[in-house]
Amino acid sequence: RRLLQEINDMGMPAACEFLDPVVPHYFEDLVSWVAIGARTTESQTHRQMASAIGIPVGFKNGTDGSFDTAADGIMAARNQHSYVGTGPDGHVCVLRTDGNPDGHLVLRGGKLGPNYDSESIGSAREVLAKGDLDQRLVVDCSHGNSNKDHERQPLVFEDLISQRAEGDTGIVGVMLESNINPGSQKLGADPSTLEYGVSITDACVGWDKTEEIILWADNTLG
């Protein structure tokens, strides 16, 4: 909470992926946007959680690249639910939700390849339209869309910004995996050997490249 509070105090909104369904009740007042990951989009527990919070929630497409699972998640989250969870006082109770009208799709690619191109985005919107769901979406520049190569993220980012500049205002956001320094490293037995500012999970673009492409996007869309 302290880190999120400091970010908020700077006037910068914070976004998180909620993995543990207990966590949102402790953090949702400090978070402006939430992601449900590709491996949890199908989880009923996470759909109920999304239904309970008053924050826009992005459901990532499944790891196989299909859109249907995420569309089903968006549909489930906008409905009311009753389930056993943790209340504001930390005690187990029955929670009743109002539903979340701000669910949307996040495209992150899949096992069959990227889905950030205009044709794939069009196919995703067809699935959303069939469910009478919001066709505006966010695109993840990493994971399947970069073939897990962090150096490809800027190329994906630039393609998406160009699509928006050419008139596709339904692309309402992009995601980057970014850190202070580029690449990734393994977490071994001795943490003192770790290089500062380098991811220990997914490989990231460094801050210099992040700053460069964000400024380019601002100039392109401005």
**pLDDT per residue as tens, the chain (222 positions):** 999 999 999 999 999 999 998 888 889 999 999 999 999 999 999 999 999 999 999 999 999 999 999 999 999 999 999 999 888 788 899 999 999 999 999 999 999 999 999 999 999 999 999 999 999 999 999 999 999 999 999 999 999 999 999 999 999 999 999 999 999 999 999 999 999 999 999 999 999 999 999 999 999 999
> Could you tell me the fold of the domain covering 2-140?
TIM Barrel (3.20.20)
* Side-chain-facing half-sphere of 76: CA atoms under 13 Å: 19
Claim: this prediction has a pTM higher than 0.75:
yes
**Beta strand extents in 7-49 (DSSP E only):** 15-17, 33-36
Separation CA 107–CA 41 (nearest Å): 12
